[in-house]
Amino acid sequence: MSEYNFQILVCGGTGCKASESEEIRSSFVNLLNEYGLEEEVQVVLTDCFGFCEKGPIVKMMPDKTVYVRVKPSDADEIIKEHIVKGNQVERLLYRDPVTGTVVRDRQHMEFYKKQIRIALRNCGFINPEEIDEYIAHDGYMALGTCLTEMKPMEVIEQIKKSGLRGRGGGGFPTGLKWEITAKVPGDQKYVVCNVDEGDPGAFMDRSILEGDPHTVIEAMIINGYCTGASKGLVYIRAEYPLAISRLKIALAQARAYGLLGDDILGSGFNFDIEIRYGAGAFVCGEETALIHSMEGCRGEPTFKPPFPSVSGYLGKPTNVNNVETYANIPVIINKGADWFASIGTEKSKGTKVFALAGKINNVGLIEVPLGTTLREVIYDIGGGIRGGKKFKAVQTGGPSGGMLTAEFLDTPIDYDNLLAAGSMMGSGGMIVMDEDDCMVAIAKFYLGFTVEESCGKCAPCRIGNKRLHEILERITDGKGEIQDLDRLFMLSNVIKDASLCGLGQTSPNPVLSSLKYFRQEYEAHVKASHCPAGQCKALVRYEVIEDKCTGCTLCFRNCPVGAITGEKREVHFIDQSLCIKCGVCFEKCKFGAILVS
Amino acid sequence: MNLGLRENSDAADTHVQIRVGMATCGIASGARETMNFLVEETRHQAIDAVITQTGCMGFCYAEPTVEITLPGKEPVVFGHVDKTKAREIIDRFIIKGELADGIIPVNFKTIDEY
């Protein structure tokens, strides 16, 4: 096996690379060669440690000591002290920001881990098509505890005590929802799992079902036991074929093990789960629309109350929860409500899964304790903005959420803080935007999505969003007027107040928040016909700078629409009436002779 | 109980455990080819390995991702594992026990660590 006695792991994540991790690696390698230690010590460049604020990070193996903010000049001291003499280099150790004490204890060298994986605990660890692997990781243990040792109300009490809130976006206390469903009398009740994940850029629920389908099944059975339901329904989008096939395998395995069906674990409790497919309508993520869709009706929401807990699927009491909410349940039972409640903030307990996307280095699926700041998520775990560009905003909550600007970077993420900031938690999509993104165009993109997805039942959403989108289109086309900004504001508020369901009530959020925080961008579009980010094509103009043009004909030859004319070695000219603003001339010109304005 | 699992868990002391992230995102970026290659190559080189699929490890920026546990060692995750990288991992990490560039440090706590 390995001939190396030591390994030095140098963080080579994109964030740390900017702060010279390559130089650190080469100074280690050079010095090791100089001291004749190259046979004993291996230097490896790793990916991101998720703690870029203190980067570059160097981890010593096998003793796991972690050094922070390492410079190339520190390599000599680390080799001489740590590797040769076995002493830690104290000044490079991490200092706890609260207590100010140096972390030297090798047991506590994991301080750089900002994530805790509860809902994702098995994702990427077990084979999702093998029930035995789930069982080997404490799977179905919570179900056993509930069915054999606890009364339904005791289980509900634990969920309430844990402080778990709905992870689908609304944040309604889960235990309370279960209690309401349990207390409503009914001969038949239903448990529903909402997998109608539709936010652009969100893939939390899909990943959980693809990676750990049994956790959802286990939690649904527990929910059925608590509420008195004997039937579970998983409403899943047909666009998730892999999640569906793994769920089907999982259901068959659970049935074969007697975990679904009659007399589960000899407790006398009967429960089974069926799958219902959604056709991909965004509004069906709203629980009443989802229920109508399952009943075979049009996927349209209805007024609440009555809430599904009282009158849901086929008019019977129905408990609807989202995938991630369910994925937390077995852990709460196994580790205890107090353990769960010790994570998070005062009013938002536990963790939240986010799908990090957009202009960020480490695009991925993360799970952080609630109360983590946006800065930690974006700059530490996410590795910062791609290409070293400037952060502009982050969109949380998808088309229902708002844009959060740099001033909110240090806001702890929880349900209430995000609402107060004009956005919302949503299901967990987090799209990061940089200085090249035009906020008006982004708002228009989300509105376009809402217009497509509005079910059309109520006028404010059906007509109002269409008009909002038209106004935004006018602005990005350079045909807007300053009064349009007031129109946007007023119409947005009318739609919010008068729409029937959550879709319409939240759809103007991207407009309202961008108007609030980026009003100057809107004004630039309407007053000066200028798009500060250079994204709105109608407002961009490509021109040849006559002094710089050498007449090389490169732009002429590459223009896809023949909008450029000019003879060899003579100044070229762009015909604005033909130009489609594709930007090829700008990219191809070697002399910087194309002006973008 | 299932025989396959017992075989696998008994093999933990002697076999190399390889897990390939096979969620939609992993498969889309070539995890299936990587997995097939690992299966063929370990068989070809007569390496005692148990290769299984798993879900999303969360490192979408580095798909396909592969986790390897050498007997008696802690798991190591590699990112961007195409065939070339897979060959390097077999030759350097699995056979010689050296680390290779591009390992992904585990940047989260498990429920048992918190």
> Residue A368 is part of a domain; what is its CATH number?
3.10.20.600
Q: Domain check: are A213 and A305 in the same one?
A: yes
Residue A18's pLDDT band, with cuts at 50, 70 and 90, is low
Q: Domain check: are A196 and A297 in the same one?
A: yes
Q: Kindly tell me if the per-residue pLDDT of A63 is higher than 90.
A: no
The 8-class DSSP code of residue A81 comes to I
| Facing residue for B101 by CB, picked from A45, A110, A116 | A45
Q: Pairing between strand A41-46 and B66-69?
A: unpaired
Number of independent structural domains in chain B = 1
pTM attached to this predicted model: 0.89
Note whether residue A281 is domain-resident.
yes
Q: Pairing between strand A573-574 and A564-565?
A: antiparallel
The residue to which tokens 């529903």 are assigned: A192
Note whether residue B76 is domain-resident.
yes
Task: For residues A578 and A562, give the distance between their C-alpha atoms in angstroms, rounded to a whole number.
Answer: 8
CB pair distance less than 8 Å for B54 and A50: no
Q: What are phi and psi of A560, to 5 degrees?
A: -75, -15
A591 in reach of chain B (CB within 8 A) = no
| Facing residue for A207 by CB, picked from B23, B70, B110 | B23
Q: Kindly tell me if the per-residue pLDDT of B2 is higher than 60.
A: no
pLDDT at B7: 47
Note whether residue A515 is domain-resident.
yes
Per-residue model confidence as pLDDT tens digits over A218-234? 999 999 999 999 999 99
Closest-CA distance, B84 to chain A, in angstroms, reads: 18
Which of A495, A450, A509, A29 lies closest to A200 in space, CA to CA? A450
* Mean pLDDT of all residues in A54-73: 89
Closest-CA distance, A127 to chain B, in angstroms, reads: 4
Lowest mean pLDDT among A2-6, A124-128, A368-372, A402-406: A2-6
Domain of residue A559: give its range.
Answer: 541-596
A260 in reach of chain B (CB within 8 A) = no
Note whether residue A126 is domain-resident.
no
CB pair distance less than 8 Å for A124 and B108: no
A210 in reach of chain B (CB within 8 A) = yes
pLDDT at A399: 87
Per-residue model confidence as pLDDT tens digits over A379-415? 999 989 988 899 999 999 888 888 999 999 999 999 9
Q: What CATH number is given to the structural domain containing B66?
A: 3.40.30.10
Q: What CATH number is given to the structural domain containing A20?
A: 3.40.30.10
* Mean pLDDT of all residues in A137-141: 96
Q: Domain check: are A177 and A225 in the same one?
A: yes
Minimum Cα–Cα distance from A11: chain B residue: B105
Note whether residue B109 is domain-resident.
no
pLDDT at A289: 94
Share of chain A above pLDDT 70, in %: 99
Q: Are A400 and A422 in contact (CB under 8 A)?
A: no
| Facing residue for A47 by CB, picked from B62, B96, B97 | B62
Higher pLDDT, A552 or A53: A552
Residue A103's pLDDT band, with cuts at 50, 70 and 90, is confident
Q: Final residue of a domain: which of A407, A434, A461?
A: A434
Q: Domain check: are A137 and A11 in the same one?
A: no
Please report the DSSP string for A4-70 in residue order.
-SEEEEEE-SHHHHHTTHHHHHHHHHHHHHHTT-TTTEEEEEE---S-GGGPSPEEEETT--EE-S-
CB pair distance less than 8 Å for B21 and A110: no
Number of independent structural domains in chain A = 5
Per-residue model confidence as pLDDT tens digits over A107-138? 777 888 899 999 999 999 999 999 999 999 99
A332 in reach of chain B (CB within 8 A) = no
A211 in reach of chain B (CB within 8 A) = yes
A98 class by beta-carbon count within 10 Å (0-12 exposed, 13-18 middle, 19+ buried): exposed
Q: Which residues of A touch B58 (CB under 8 A)?
A: 120, 123-124, 207, 364-367
Q: Domain check: are A473 and A520 in the same one?
A: yes
**Within a 10 A sphere around the Cβ of A154, how many other Cβ atoms?**
11
Note whether residue B114 is domain-resident.
no
A137 in reach of chain B (CB within 8 A) = no
Minimum Cα–Cα distance from B97: chain A residue: A2
pLDDT at A226: 97
Per-residue model confidence as pLDDT tens digits over A246-285? 999 999 999 999 999 999 999 999 999 999 999 888 999 9
Determine the residue type at A468.
L
Note whether residue B36 is domain-resident.
yes
A121 in reach of chain B (CB within 8 A) = yes
Q: Domain check: are A304 and A389 in the same one?
A: no
Q: Which residues of A touch B79 (CB under 8 A)?
A: 47
Domain of residue B30: give its range.
Answer: 3-104
CB pair distance less than 8 Å for A4 and B98: yes
Note whether residue B112 is domain-resident.
no
pLDDT at B82: 95
Q: Domain check: are A373 and A446 in the same one?
A: no
Q: Final residue of a domain: which of A308, A335, A362?
A: A335
pLDDT at A474: 94
Note whether residue A479 is domain-resident.
yes
Residue A2's pLDDT band, with cuts at 50, 70 and 90, is low
Q: Domain check: are A196 and A304 in the same one?
A: yes
CB pair distance less than 8 Å for A11 and B55: no
pLDDT at B3: 37
CB pair distance less than 8 Å for A207 and B109: no
Pick among A47, A52, A205, A245 to test the B interface (most B CBs inside 10 A):
A47
pLDDT at A30: 94
Question: What is the interface size between A and B, counted as CB pairs within 8 Å?
Answer: 155
Note whether residue B58 is domain-resident.
yes
Per-residue model confidence as pLDDT tens digits over A157-209? 999 999 999 998 889 999 999 999 999 999 999 999 999 998 888 899 999 99
pLDDT at B6: 40
Q: Are A461 and A507 in contact (CB under 8 A)?
A: yes
CB pair distance less than 8 Å for B114 and A116: yes
Report the side by side order of strands in the sheet with A351-358.
A364-369, A351-358, A429-434, A391-396, A403-405
Q: Kindly tell me if the per-residue pLDDT of B5 is higher than 90.
A: no
The residue to which tokens 């929860």 are assigned: A321
Per-residue model confidence as pLDDT tens digits over A237-250? 999 999 999 999 99
CB pair distance less than 8 Å for B108 and A49: no
Closest-CA distance, A18 to chain B, in angstroms, reads: 16
Q: Which residues of A touch B52 (CB under 8 A)?
A: 127, 130
| Facing residue for B21 by CB, picked from A113, A121, A124 | A124
Which of B27, B22, B51 lies closest to B39 in space, CA to CA? B51
A59 in reach of chain B (CB within 8 A) = yes
* Mean pLDDT of all residues in B17-29: 94
Tell me the ipTM for this assembly.
0.87
Minimum Cα–Cα distance from B27: chain A residue: A242
Note whether residue A430 is domain-resident.
yes
Q: Domain check: are A392 and A466 in the same one?
A: no
pLDDT at A54: 84
Q: Domain check: are A455 and A379 in the same one?
A: no
State how far the alpha carbon of A227 is from the alpha carbons of A49, A156, A235, A405, B110, in Å. 43, 9, 19, 42, 30
| Facing residue for A124 by CB, picked from B54, B98, B109 | B54
Note whether residue B113 is domain-resident.
no
Q: Domain check: are A172 and A266 in the same one?
A: yes
Q: Domain check: are A23 and A83 in the same one?
A: yes
Find the chain B residues whose C-beta atoms sit closer than 8 A to any C-beta of A.
1-2, 4-5, 9, 19, 21, 23-25, 27, 52-62, 65, 67, 70, 79, 96-111, 113-114
| Facing residue for B104 by CB, picked from A46, A210, A361 | A46
pLDDT at A157: 97
Q: Pairing between strand A594-596 and A542-544?
A: antiparallel
CB pair distance less than 8 Å for A133 and B5: yes
